[in-house]
């Protein structure tokens, strides 16, 4: 089974090597052009709450954490599990260097901030043309404005002009210093109507608003979703909230779902993650679509 991973985060050693040093101070609204963070007022507050939510998952139960590998070991682990392509949307210097180092294995999405206006639009186009990245990533959780906000529209327009897909953070926000529903799927409806020729990919599958996510996948021909940050072993568990996703993902929207392994978030090596997808109660043809065929078709890889 060939696999395309739609959310790959590199090991810590690669991030440390390629990421620019954080700036100590930056104005609000400069988004991903800087790497500084506000000091915490209360321990565990804001983005730090993610460690409380997801930290227990990285319990070391999977021998050799992906985060602790060298870049070469990480690539070997992917390839041993059948991964032929992996998409990265890390800070731009990290993504660009990963794609430059292993263009046969990695593809990348550009991250820029809508608060940077036309500067962000020009930077998006420059990175695509000069560094060969493959689409746009926008993150309403980071920017604190939903995906339907007009400030994203110059970026969507440029993506449409370049003929590139756009991935959007689309799930509940656990950071306690911003609204929980910044990534609600309802914010996708207007942009899919306004840019019908542009493929939009709802990152993280819209949980816990799975019913709305499935309905929008049916409504919009240009809308897809990926399964990032969610372990597939829970998809078929009764009461987990994924019932409609599994039902329609095996039937009417089977061509709309892209598997995403999220090794950094889940702390899981590639082989057991791929096997967890293969163990799902899906038709064999649907498993191939989720794991490879849908992403290959969307990005013209076949």
Q: What CATH number is associated with residue 82?
A: 3.20.20.140
Domain encompassing residue 53: 3-19+47-298
Average pLDDT, rounded, for the chain: 91
Which residues, in sequence order, are bridge partners of residue 203?
169
Between the alpha carbon of residue 75 and those of residues 8, 54, 80, 180, the distances in Å are 11, 24, 9, 34
- Within-domain flag for 40: no
Nearest by Cα to 87 from 207, 205, 258: 258
pLDDT tens for residues 110-140?
999 999 999 999 999 999 999 999 999 999 9
pLDDT tens for residues 227-283?
999 999 999 999 999 999 999 999 999 999 999 999 988 889 999 999 999 999 999
Q: What's the pLDDT score for residue 63?
A: 60
- Within-domain flag for 67: yes
Q: What's the pLDDT score for residue 37?
A: 47
- Within-domain flag for 236: yes
- Within-domain flag for 33: no
pLDDT at 147 over 50: yes
Q: How confident is residue 40, by pLDDT bands cut at 50, 70 and 90?
A: low
- Within-domain flag for 165: yes
- Within-domain flag for 37: no
pLDDT at 221 over 80: yes
pLDDT tens for residues 77-111?
999 999 999 999 999 999 999 999 999 999 999 99
pLDDT at 76 over 90: yes
Q: What's the pLDDT score for residue 65?
A: 83
Nearest by Cα to 246 from 221, 294, 279, 273: 279
Q: What's the pLDDT score for residue 113?
A: 94
Q: What's the pLDDT score for residue 22?
A: 63
pLDDT at 38 over 60: no
- Within-domain flag for 42: no
- Within-domain flag for 26: no
Domain count, the chain: 1
C-alpha–C-alpha distance, residues 86 and 83, integer Å: 7
Q: How confident is residue 54, by pLDDT bands cut at 50, 70 and 90?
A: confident
What mean pLDDT do residues 53-62 have?
61
The pTM is what?
Answer: 0.92
C-alpha–C-alpha distance, residues 36 and 28, integer Å: 10
């Amino acid at each position: 089974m060939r696999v395309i991973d739609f959310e790959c985060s590199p090991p810590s050693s690669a991030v440390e090597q390629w990421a620019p040093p954080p700036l100590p101070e930056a104005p609000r609204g400069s988004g991903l052009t800087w790497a500084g963070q506000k000091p915490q007022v209360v321990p565990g507050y804001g983005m730090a709450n993610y460690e409380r939510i997801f930290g227990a998952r990285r319990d070391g139960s999977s021998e050799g954490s992906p985060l602790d590998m060298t870049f070469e070991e990480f690539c070997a682990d992917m390839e041993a599990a059948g991964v032929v392509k992996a998409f990265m949307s890390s800070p731009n210097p990290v993504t660009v260097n990963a794609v430059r180092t292993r263009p046969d294995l990695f593809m990348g999405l550009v991250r820029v901030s809508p608060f940077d206006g036309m500067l962000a639009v020009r930077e998006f186009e420059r990175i695509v043309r000069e560094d060969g990245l493959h689409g746009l990533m926008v993150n309403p959780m980071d920017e604190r404005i939903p995906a339907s906000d007009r400030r994203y529209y110059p970026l969507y327009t440029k993506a449409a002009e370049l003929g590139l897909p756009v991935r959007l953070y689309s799930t509940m926000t656990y950071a306690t210093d911003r609204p929980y529903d910044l990534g609600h799927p309802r914010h996708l409806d207007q942009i899919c109507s306004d840019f019908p020729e542009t493929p939009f990919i709802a990152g993280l599958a819209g949980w816990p608003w799975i019913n709305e996510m499935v309905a929008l996948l049916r409504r919009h021909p240009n809308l897809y979703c990926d399964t990032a940050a969610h372990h597939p072993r829970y998809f078929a568990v009764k009461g987990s909230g994924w019932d409609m996703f599994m039902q329609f993902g095996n039937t009417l929207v089977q061509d709309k779902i892209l598997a995403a392994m999220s090794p950094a978030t889940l702390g899981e090596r590639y082989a057991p993650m791929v096997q967890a997808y293969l163990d799902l109660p899906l038709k064999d043809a649907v498993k191939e679509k989720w794991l490879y065929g849908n992403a290959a078709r969307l990005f013209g890889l076949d």
